[in-house]
């Protein structure tokens, strides 16, 4: 627990104090956010606000991960389960960094062209597919070789699973390694685009991401405390355990990312002094997809990230309706802009959407815990 707390604290402080530096640097470099002409007119006042702020909290998460591991080395040996960096960390941080890199290219092109059209939709999609495929393969083809004091292997789990999962793996839905990688690519694309579409108002995507990542930190730490690779816990055959790989790593990274987002939110809340840009949105989406895979809660992501799902579906519904009937269901999509044009203030929309995000997280955590109680009974 100490390592997770250290990671959260370090990430928060790095993000909180480094974001103003990024604001000054990006302002000096004239890396301002171009605003779409067809967007809500009230957004034109945000033109020129520094973007690419996601660089700060991605970097803060990586630094905090290192700090968390340094904290682990100070614990008594009996409490250390995962001192060395793992493949799990490589996958999760790799997804965050490289999805963020795809977003950075998009942001850079927007700033350079002084236009809201950056990387082409095809280019962005190819980037997401490539990152998802590479880390999906790593997640499925590299099992753990964790051993106990006698040298016996106690954990042979991979980061991902060949089975579809809800609150845990569903044995009847084994899709093979190739199928699992394909599904994971889809999850990466869905999560990155979901966060990106949500990032339309000051602080909206950042605050929602804090809740989602916080939920994954709780889930992963609970799995760590009830881990099948922990002989002290499984000594009692009546104890229900989780067959995952490196849950402490997952909790540490999720907590660090949540803390980094809170520090960034200080400057990103209305009126925003900096935007996360596609750098941050795609980076967070990639990490969230990795969290769902590594905690074996792929389908639960639909509830944990309920706000992202709702906003994404509003865009899908709008496109389908307009192409089939020529009529729009919403005044504008994504959904937050519909309410802007309906007269809601930006702050009201953000806070109310945060409430929706919180409800989704609460329901998901309730389902997760109720499943544990049912299995322990």
CB distance 272 to 204 below 8 Å = no
Q: How far apart are CA 47 and CA 111, in angstroms?
A: 11
Dihedral (C-alpha) 156, 370, 91, 178: value to the nearest 10 degrees?
70
Ramachandran sector of residue 49 (left: φ over 0; alpha: ψ -120 to 50; beta: rest): beta
CA angle 117, 119, 121 (to 5 degrees): 90
Residues in the chain: 377
CA angle 116, 318, 299 (to 5 degrees): 95
Most distant CA atoms of the chain, gap in Å: 69
- Strand-pairing partners, residue 38, are none
pLDDT of amino acid 154: 63
Q: How far apart are CA 175 and CA 284, in angstroms?
A: 26
pLDDT of amino acid 39: 58
Per-residue pLDDT of the chain (377 residues; tens, 9 = 90+): 888 999 999 999 999 999 999 999 999 988 877 766 555 656 666 777 898 999 999 999 999 999 998 887 765 543 445 667 889 999 999 999 999 999 999 999 988 877 666 788 899 999 999 999 999 999 999 988 766 555 556 678 999 999 999 999 999 999 999 999 999 999 999 999 999 999 989 999 999 999 999 999 999 999 999 999 888 888 888 889 999 999 999 999 999 999 999 999 999 999 999 999 999 999 999 999 999 999 999 999 999 999 999 999 999 999 999 999 999 999 999 999 999 999 999 999 999 999 999 999 999 999 999 999 998 86
> What is the 3 state secondary structure string of the chain?
CHHHHHHHHHHHHHHHHHHHHHHHHHHHCCCECCCCCCCCHHHHHHCCCECCCHHHHHHHHHHHHHHHHHHHCCCCHHHCCCCCCCHHHHHHHHHHHHHHHHHHHHHHHHHHHCCCCCCCHHHHHHHHHHHHHHHHHHHHHCCCCEECCCCCEEECCCCCCCEEECCCEEEEEECHHHHHHHHHHHHHHHHHHHHHHHCCCCCHHHHHHHHHHHHHHHHHHHHHHCECCCHHHHCCCCCCCECCCCHHHHHHHHHHHHHHHHHHHHHHCCCCCCCCHHHHHHHHHHHHHHHHHHCCCCCCHHHHCHHHHHHHHHHHHHHHHHHHHCCCCCCCCCHHHHHHHCCCCHHHHHHHHHHHHHHHHHHHHHHHHHHHHHHHC
Nearest to 56 by CA among 267, 264, 253, 233: 264
- Strand-pairing partners, residue 153, are 147
pLDDT of amino acid 43: 61
pLDDT of amino acid 80: 44
Cα distances (Å, whole numbers) of residue 100 to 86, 227, 250, 262, 301: 21, 31, 19, 18, 20
CB distance 324 to 231 below 8 Å = no
Find all residues with CB under 8 Å of 219, minimum gap 6, and list them.
Answer: 295, 297, 365, 368
The dihedral sign for the CA sequence 356, 358, 359, 360: positive
Residue that is written with structure tokens 């590594």 in the block: 294
Rg (CA), the chain: 21
238's tokens? 């009546």
């Amino acid at each position: 627990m100490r390592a997770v707390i250290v990671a959260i604290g370090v990430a928060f402080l790095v993000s909180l104090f480094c974001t103003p530096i990024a604001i000054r640097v990006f302002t000096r470099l004239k890396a301002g956010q171009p605003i779409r002409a067809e967007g809500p007119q009230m957004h034109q006042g945000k033109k020129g606000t520094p973007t690419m702020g996601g660089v700060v909290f991605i970097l803060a998460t990586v630094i905090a991960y290192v700090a968390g591991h340094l904290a682990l080395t100070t614990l008594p040996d009996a409490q250390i389960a995962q001192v060395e960096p793992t493949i799990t960390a490589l996958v999760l941080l790799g997804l965050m960094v490289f999805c963020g890199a795809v977003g950075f290219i998009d942001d850079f092109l927007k700033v350079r062209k002084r236009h809201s059209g950056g990387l082409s939709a095809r280019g962005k999609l190819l980037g997401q597919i490539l990152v998802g495929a590479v880390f999906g393969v790593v997640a499925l083809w590299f099992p753990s070789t964790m051993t106990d004091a006698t040298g016996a292997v106690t954990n042979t789990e991979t980061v991902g699973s060949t089975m579809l999962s809800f609150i845990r793996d569903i044995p009847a839905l084994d899709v093979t390694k190739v199928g699992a990688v394909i599904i994971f690519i889809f999850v990466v694309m869905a999560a990155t685009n979901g966060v990106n579409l949500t990032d339309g108002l000051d602080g909206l995507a950042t605050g929602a991401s804090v809740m989602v990542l916080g939920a994954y930190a709780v889930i992963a730490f609970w799995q760590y405390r009830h881990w099948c690779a922990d002989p002290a816990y499984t000594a009692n055959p009546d104890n229900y355990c989780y067959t995952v790989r490196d849950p402490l790593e997952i909790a540490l990274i999720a907590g660090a990312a949540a803390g980094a987002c809170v520090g960034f939110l200080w400057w990103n809340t209305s009126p925003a002094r900096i935007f996360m840009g596609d750098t941050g949105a795609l980076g967070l989406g990639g990490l969230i997809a990795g969290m769902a895979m590594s905690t074996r809660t792929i389908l639960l992501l639909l509830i944990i990230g309920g706000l992202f799902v709702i906003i994404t579906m509003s865009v899908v519904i709008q496109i389908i309706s307009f192409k089939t009937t020529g009529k729009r269901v919403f005044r504008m999509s994504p959904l937050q802009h519909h309410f802007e044009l309906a007269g809601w203030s930006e702050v009201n929309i953000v806070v109310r959407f945060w409430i929706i995000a919180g409800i989704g997280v609460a329901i998901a955590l309730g389902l997760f815990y109720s499943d544990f109680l049912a299995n322990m009974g």
